Structure 1
């Protein structure tokens, strides 16, 4: 019954938002309340899960969202993203931009938190969309989503990749050898197929895109004349420097280097704050105090909207966790020992996919699935690295409304809930299915 009530809650949230035009925040809270009470966790426990889930998400990513969005607002105010996009278009033909974006996110950026990636990449995607013509925003949004998560689960040092390898006792180098091929290939193929869907009428801009505060901020950035815009190097600095700081911290941790200064500077909150300070100083220099204050104020409005809907998305995940669904699924599938190779791969994929659908977190689904399978590794004839890759593939499946990332993605890209389902949910489902046969091929090679 818990699985049934979880499914009802998720479907109800989607229908309330898309069909009844209920605001996502109200729909999410209604879904939380229904699931908590219907599954029997109790009145007080339901409220506790909602508030704790909101607080946990804010603790983890609240400052990241705030600093990142404010930095983006300031960079738009000086026309920085226009400078970046114009430089990018000179190097990469417009019809290759989505592929360049998805390859970069799935190979270079996995050391960066997915929340940071979408905060920093979304404005570039939005600004680049007009160069791709019809459905440009949808194509770039799909490329962004699939690139981020293919890197996250397949490529070391992505968090899910490291977690899976650790739980299944797979050497990181071994995991990387397979993942660095499967991840980018999956991302590129998914981006190409998604483009074919868009060409056949999948996207309806009037229903799938919506005007947002972020769009108004971008228009302000367009008002800056080319002569008054900062150089490309200055425009990139507030983004590149924090990314390098975070990546350095992650790689040092991976190498076992325990240095408090490096850990401090490599913390994502500190790195993005320094990026924000850099953007603030640059805005004061190029557009003056008044324009800077206006951009900052507009950024705060956007930040508040994103924080609230993201936090409530976290509440839904916490209520689902409180129902004990993950433990129930673990018991159902613990009988999978001793099955053939293909069946074992499919079982590992299915466990992770089902957990992701229920819990709404790629990393939690991957970690939980690996934890379920780890105790029976000795009884399975498949290489642990292949099982890990199968779990990674399954954990990608159908990122949707019970994920706080979904709501960040929606707000930052300027999409409707329907548009987010038709991009993020669609491309993660496609990537999960596309990567599965690649994992099966890997099983023929892995020892």
Structure 2
């Protein structure tokens, strides 16, 4: 019965969002109350469960997410992102233009959230395709692949950051293993998949697309932007700090070195929240003050960034509330009992549950959070690497984006595709990322 109740809850969520056009956050809270009551939770503990799920999820995410949004906005508004893209495109040359777009999108994707990166990069891709007379989709697929992979696998993006917190995984390890998996996945889903897509829907590569809905774009003269080195360093600084901390901690554990003040300082500085704060302070200087931009203008950019993520934070909190109801209502324990005698790897199980929920719900972040509610009770009975379970959940939550996902419609409209062409490009692209990501995660699980 618990799984039937969850299934009814998910269908109800779909009806509320797609049928009644109700706000996603409001829908999640309504369904959380409904599922909690249907699971037979005591009336006096329902509200507490929802509040603890919402607060617990946002507690370790709001700081990273908020600081990350400000960092990304400073890099975008200063022209740093444009400098990264244009410099790489210039260095790689016309013959390797796809690879230039992949590398630029990957670096920018680490610093900017998916939708922001897409809106920022699409005008650049359109401009280059016009100059070089190549198909916009020829450049658009590698761009979307790189942005989607960073969104699904790499902190400080909301999905992997939230799930790392829920599973109790080391966020630095998630980042390190995420990079190892992300690079081959982007190559497969980007430049290589483009060749297959060209055979599947050749007409889509003749489309001119339409970005009028984005309005007038902020463009910069290259000499008015921060230098390439400073722009890349600022964008990658949180990643560098977290990666250094993870590597030093691994060296300490491998060589059984006693803890001391130096290791404590390294752990403190490389903590995701500290790393994001230091990165923001660096960006305030490199993207603002060092370029004689007044502090008031810099802070206005930060304020706009926070205003733009308010609803996203609430939706993530709503997903956390639903997750907590599933745990407190005993659904997680029921799933753990169901799979107690199975030989199925928790990595594979997390991917499967996340994939099913992603297809049903559309939102990758909500699918990942709901998966956590079902998988967490399983993790206590196994010695599986938690960072890999985080990545498997992220990979599953990306699969088969279709009509209930905003990304599907953004890709369709920007590139001027038909429904069939969008399924054959965007939906297939997301599925390749998900399946290839799982494959590389399982390979990595044999080593770590």
| TM-score of the pair, normalised by structure 1 | 0.66
1:143 shift after superposition: 3.4
1:88 shift after superposition: 2.4
What is the match of residue 147 of structure 2? 144
Q: Return 5+ residue gaps in structure 2 as ranges.
A: 127-135, 156-160, 253-258, 358-366, 400-404, 415-421
Identify which of 266, 274, 277 aligns with 1:273: 277
Mark the CA change 1:84 to 1:18 in structure 2 (over 3 Å): closer, same or farther. farther
Cα RMSD, aligned residues only = 5.1
What is the match of residue 245 of structure 2? 249
Identify which of 319, 322, 330 aligns with 2:325: 319
Contact 1:69 1:119 in 2 (8 A): yes
For residues 426-445 of structure 1, the C-alpha deviation after alignment (integer angstroms, 9 at most, x for no partner) is: 766544544667799999x9
In 1, distance between residues paired with 2:3 and 2:227? 54
What is the match of residue 283 of structure 1? 288
What is the match of residue 70 of structure 2? 70
3-state SS of the aligned residue for 1:295?
helix
For residues 110-135 of structure 1, the C-alpha deviation after alignment (integer angstroms, 9 at most, x for no partner) is: xxxxxx94646765554333344446
In 2, distance between residues paired with 1:349 and 1:325? 19
Mark the CA change 1:7 to 1:104 in structure 2 (over 3 Å): closer, same or farther. farther
In 2, distance between residues paired with 1:19 and 1:245? 45
Mark the CA change 1:234 to 1:143 in structure 2 (over 3 Å): closer, same or farther. closer
1:350 shift after superposition: 4.3
**Number of aligned positions between the proteins:** 386
3-state SS of the aligned residue for 1:396?
helix
Alignment of 1:34-433 (within 5 A): 34-92=34-92, 93-96=96-99, 99-100=102-103, 117=110, 119=112, 123-133=116-126, 134=136, 140-146=143-149, 149=152, 184-191=183-190, 192-193=192-193, 200=201, 219=217, 221-222=218-219, 224-256=220-252, 259-281=263-285, 282-284=287-289, 285-336=291-342, 349-350=348-349, 353-354=352-353, 357=356, 360-361=368-369, 369=378, 371-372=380-381, 396-399=395-398, 429-433=431-435
Mark the CA change 1:59 to 1:181 in structure 2 (over 3 Å): closer, same or farther. closer
Mark the CA change 1:292 to 1:9 in structure 2 (over 3 Å): closer, same or farther. same
Q: Return 5+ residue gaps in structure 1 as ranges.
A: 106-115, 153-157, 167-171, 338-343, 375-383, 401-408
Mark the CA change 1:39 to 1:85 in structure 2 (over 3 Å): closer, same or farther. same
| TM-score of the pair, normalised by structure 2 | 0.66
For residues 122-181 of structure 1, the C-alpha deviation after alignment (integer angstroms, 9 at most, x for no partner) is: 6555433334444666763443333564679xxxxx9999x99x9xxxxx9xxx8xx998
3-state SS of the aligned residue for 1:255?
helix
In 1, distance between residues paired with 2:303 and 2:181? 43
What is the match of residue 402 of structure 2? none
In 2, distance between residues paired with 1:356 and 1:364? 14
Mark the CA change 1:367 to 1:185 in structure 2 (over 3 Å): closer, same or farther. farther
